[in-house]
Amino acid sequence: MGELLRVEHLRAESGQRTDGYLKVAEMQDGSPARVPVSLVNGAEEGPTIYLQAISDGDELNGISVIRQVLKRLDPTVMNGRVIAVLIVNFHAFHAHQAFSPVDEKKMNRCFPGRKDGTSSERIAYRLFHNAVLQSDYCVDLHQGGRRPMIDEVRVRVDRRKRIHRACMEMAQVFGIGYILDQRGPEGQLARSAPDEGIPTIDPELGGCLGWDRESIQKGITGVENVLKYYGVIPGEPFIPKKQVVVDGFLTVLANRGGFIEFHAQHYDHLQKGDPVADITDPFGNVLETLRAPEESIFWSENLLPMVSSGEMVATLGKNIRYI
């Protein structure tokens, strides 16, 4: 039998699931700001997996992933535990934006948080110290905000650190097929948790505001791959035999203002000199053709079909390798 799973006042006995809320802040009128948390405590001992979504308030695919995964979990046949925080950034979520309107901070730059810090730092502190530090593995679900992009997984740990290998293994296990292996900014959960010895990945499930069914399904498969691989639930994970890894991005900028007509699309493997997009005038006349500066993968694109001079048209993954 497993031990009691507890996050603050929320408790789940062995073989049980508990859903509830943590009060993490107060609104201007004193009403509580709460984040929804689900605890699933398996009947048998095993690793603890921490899942979170919406640390950026406009990145919504992750909550759909967690909801669907939770529906399919049966604690009576689980080996281990799942702690899931479905909406991390309460204030940004309700404002439909990435940054918290209370302190203008991006939550995924605030971990491990500060007990006496700003609103975002306090929420990050509560979750990190009361939930994340109980876990053996972390999955921090994101998407590309409002920018259309491929489905990918990010490893944000310095390659010189010993835990980098475990994070890369998790990224491969997630099995989405495309991995960014690049040290992340300070304050990301995918950097802070590994600093405490907890392997963590940062899946980016597509882009644009709202729920994208294809990206969500990839996220469900990815999370369940992790649960299967580490023995929490039965079954064999589906892991591609070959996956693409890049270690950074090239930014393709427009030199002319106009409308974008793409030659390339997401996931395309481009060679140096391949056309990425034309910039055209309102009548459709080509003003310039933008080309890949080196071998790369078409990763993301501008949300709108028009750009000003000097504006980003696309990003390309660089320094491709296969694992």
pLDDT band at 1, cuts 50/70/90? Answer: low
Sort residue 286 into left (φ over 0), alpha (ψ -120 to 50) or beta. Answer: beta
Q: How far apart are CA 292 and CA 290, in angstroms?
A: 7
Residue with tokens 């259309």: 148
| Contact partners, residue 28, CB within 8 Å, separation at least 6 | none
Q: Residue 145 pLDDT more than 90?
A: no
Residue 97 has a CB neighbour count (10 Å cut-off) of: 17
| pLDDT of amino acid 146 | 83
pLDDT digits (tens, 9 = 90+) for 267-295: 999 999 999 999 999 999 999 999 999 99
pLDDT digits (tens, 9 = 90+) for 33-47: 999 999 999 999 999
Query: Are residues 42 and 81 in contact, defined by beta-carbon separation less than 8 angstroms?
Result: yes
| pLDDT of amino acid 92 | 96
pLDDT band at 207, cuts 50/70/90? Answer: confident
pLDDT band at 209, cuts 50/70/90? Answer: confident
Q: Which domains does the chain have, with CATH numbers?
A: 5-229 (3.40.630.10), 248-322 (2.40.50.100)
Task: Name the average pLDDT for the chain.
Answer: 96
Query: Are residues 101 and 179 in contact, defined by beta-carbon separation less than 8 angstroms?
Result: no
| pLDDT of amino acid 2 | 66
Q: Which residues pair with 314 in a beta bridge?
A: 252, 301
Query: Are residues 84 and 37 in contact, defined by beta-carbon separation less than 8 angstroms?
Result: yes
How large is the average pLDDT for residues 103-131?
97
| pLDDT of amino acid 210 | 82
Of 258, 259, 256, nearest to 309 by C-alpha is 256
How large is the average pLDDT for residues 60-70?
97
**What is the Cα gyration radius of the chain?**
21
Whole-model pTM: value is 0.96
| pLDDT of amino acid 284 | 97
Q: How far apart are CA 168 and CA 212, in angstroms?
A: 26
**Strand 137-141 and strand 44-53: pairing?**
parallel
| pLDDT of amino acid 53 | 98
| pLDDT of amino acid 131 | 98
